[in-house]
Structure 1
Amino acid sequence: MTRPDLAVRRFVLVAVWLPVVLVAVGVMIQLIALPQLPATIAVHWNAAGEADGFARAWTQPLMTMLFGLGLPLLMALTSLGGLRRGDRGPTYRLMGASAAAVSALVTVALTWTLVMQVGLDAASQAPTVWAALAASLVAAAVVGVAAWFLQPKTDTAGVPSRPAEPLALGPHERALWMRSTSMSSGGAIAIVAAVLLVAVCAVAAWVTGADPALAWLLTGVAALLVFFAATTLAFQVRVDDTGLRVVSVLGFPRFRVPLADVESAALAHVNPMGEFGGWGLRIAPHGRRFGIVLRAGEALEVTRRNGRRFVVTVDDAGTAAALLEALVQRAAARS
């Protein structure tokens, strides 16, 4: 029988310690090679495999640590909290394997492309990059698969939804339920950390003279992450005789389930990583569920007439579900 803490220990092994070891070995090799390199090395190659972007040699170990360790640690930190609370599911296993694979990909690619320039007189003489790319992809695949199988198989520890008992509602009585819901501190920290990491990478790309295309790409991704963070950190949830409406505090995005499209409403308990693979606007891998998942815990779950389910994590979700059930039954009685 698998011990309860085995999933956590194996996850830390593949998502934290393995990247630390990989990056440490890669950076050590790079530091040993630095004295034998030209001051400026090739860091980008065009579609023909020819060097067309250059940077100072000392930036390569820095980039290896930033990307090879920073990205996996960010992935690990977004998952460890849930695992330690007892959440389980294949998403955690995938995150651990992905963290290890990303570290292997980055470390092998950056180490190989640096070492292959040892002894050159000028960075323009750098050989093609195809061997380094192939080696890094193979390393990522091997490490990722190994990390997957090193972790135990676990099932999502979901709590079944509880159908709502309709509120007592008169034939002509008006009722309104409203609540605001916001991202949990853990989810918000993860999102802010992701934005900061990409922003730091963008700044580093500009400062170190990396390829302008890469610098602009990182800048664009950082701006996009800021937009998504700003529009998905908090929502207003409303239930009335028109149905369910969920609107970001900034006014966009907006979601609506008309009353005529509501089959039933229930109180659910959500495990963000295990059921939806994370926080924010999410689609569950199974069950035809779309969710505005801002934290773990209670949520309003609405089943549409086509069988699809809409989930929003919010306090007092049981009252919202009960009111929605009452409104649906009253509308059915009138028709």
Structure 2
Amino acid sequence: MTITDRAVRRFVLVAVWLPIVLVVGGVAVQLALLPQVPSTVAVHRNAAGEADGFLPAWTQPLMTVAFGLGIPLLIVLTTLPGLRRGERGATYRLMGATAAATSALTTTAFTLTFAMQAGLDRASEAPAVWGALAVSIATSAAAGAAAWFLQPRQHAAHGAVAPAKPLSLRAGERAVWARAASMNTGAAIAIVAAVLAIGVAAVVAWVTGAYPLLAGLFGGITLVLLAFAATTLAFHVRVDDTGLHVDSLLGFPRLHVPLTDVASAASVDVNPMGEFGGWGLRRSTGRRFGIVLRAGEAIEVGRRSGKRFVVTVDDAVTGAALLEAFVARAASRP
């Protein structure tokens, strides 16, 4: 078995099969305990640990399935296609571990808090859940660590650099190159779907009185995804005699590499997950910072400080060549 086959199979093992096993086991325990718990169970506690939110007992197994498998499914849908295409990087390994850890956290929390209510006459008598939450967090950490080490090491290979050949510019001639850079359709759909899914989960968690830890987690993730979508789905990219300009359609963020700071410009091929750990405004190894909206061609600017700035955009060869031409003309001036 090649390293590629092993990486895909181990990811599926920890991100798909492990959550399935965890959820099936947790739901089986809950169904076995269903006759022993009150018809209405406590699903929320106040700051003092006292039960103050209740739902029918049969909803607990459903929530375990929804949260224990739903989040890992989102991770798999956005990560597995890249692995199958041959993309590699530590981020893929981390995403597999995150899927396992999240499933372990939610499944253990739901199952333990459900089991604590077996034999009670009334749900209002449910004990505090701090111990159960501590066990859930420990279980999540153990599952995440195990999933990390079960997967093989992955090293992302940076795309081959194609040094730009400067365009021919006469003295005093003006030129501008501009393109719109947008996230690819698949990634944009995945982001919107993730925002909607996590948003619905957050609303359900708050409305049904789910545990504050989960409700707050989903709410926070929703806000982060909304901010991410609003500021990183599309950019204007421009090269002129002042340097490279990259501006979000919303006007923020705005990035500018002055011509005086450009040491070199090249066209490169970018693998978002493998090289930058995902899409959007990202940092990578080798002092690289990028606006990474899709896989494929990008302009990479080497700055005089040694840092490198990357932006994915169509016709990157022309953009890089014009930038090199401006640098060469500026260097030839007395």
Q: Same fold (TM over 0.5)?
A: yes
For 1:118, the equivalent position in structure 2 comes to 118
TM score, norm. by length of structure 1: 0.92
The runs of 5 or more residues in structure 2 that have no matched partner are: none
CA distance in 2, matches of 1:251, 1:307: 27
CA distance in 2, matches of 1:61, 1:241: 62
For 1:326, the equivalent position in structure 2 comes to 325
Deviation string 1:81-120 (CA, Å, 9 cap, x unpaired) is: 1111111111111111111111111111111011111111
Whether the 8 Å contact between 1:50 and 1:129 is mirrored in structure 2 is no
TM score, norm. by length of structure 2: 0.92
Q: Which moved more, 1:249-258 or 1:200-209?
A: 200-209
The runs of 5 or more residues in structure 1 that have no matched partner are: none
Deviation string 1:61-94 (CA, Å, 9 cap, x unpaired) is: 2221222111111111111111111111111111
For 1:257, the equivalent position in structure 2 comes to 257
* Residue 288 of structure 2 corresponds to residue 289 of structure 1: yes
Query: What is the CA distance between 1:47 and its match in structure 2?
Result: 4.9
For 2:84, the equivalent position in structure 1 comes to 84
* Residue 272 of structure 2 corresponds to residue 272 of structure 1: yes
Letter in 1 for 2:292: V
CA distance in 2, matches of 1:38, 1:117: 7
CA distance in 2, matches of 1:274, 1:218: 26
Query: What is the CA distance between 1:56 and its match in structure 2?
Result: 3.4
Query: What is the CA distance between 1:216 and its match in structure 2?
Result: 7.2
CA distance in 1, matches of 2:263, 2:157: 26
Whether the 8 Å contact between 1:105 and 1:140 is mirrored in structure 2 is yes
Seen in structure 2, the aligned counterparts of structure 1 residues 206 and 128 have a Cα distance that, compared at 3 Å, is closer
Q: Which moved more, 1:295-304 or 1:35-44?
A: 35-44
CA distance in 2, matches of 1:287, 1:175: 31
Letter in 1 for 2:139: A
Q: Percent identity?
A: 68
CA distance in 2, matches of 1:85, 1:118: 48
Whether the 8 Å contact between 1:59 and 1:208 is mirrored in structure 2 is no
Whether the 8 Å contact between 2:235 and 2:248 is mirrored in structure 1 is yes
Seen in structure 2, the aligned counterparts of structure 1 residues 255 and 88 have a Cα distance that, compared at 3 Å, is same
Aligned-partner SS, 2:91:
helix
Whether the 8 Å contact between 2:205 and 2:211 is mirrored in structure 1 is yes
Seen in structure 2, the aligned counterparts of structure 1 residues 65 and 47 have a Cα distance that, compared at 3 Å, is same
CA distance in 1, matches of 2:265, 2:25: 54
Seen in structure 2, the aligned counterparts of structure 1 residues 308 and 330 have a Cα distance that, compared at 3 Å, is same
CA distance in 2, matches of 1:8, 1:167: 43
Deviation string 1:119-161 (CA, Å, 9 cap, x unpaired) is: 1122232222232122212221222222122212221132232
* Equivalent residue pairs, number: 334
Whether the 8 Å contact between 1:158 and 1:270 is mirrored in structure 2 is yes
For 2:158, the equivalent position in structure 1 comes to 158
Instruction: Provide the aligned C-alpha RMSD in A.
Output: 2.2
Deviation string 1:241-275 (CA, Å, 9 cap, x unpaired) is: 11111112232222111112212111111111111
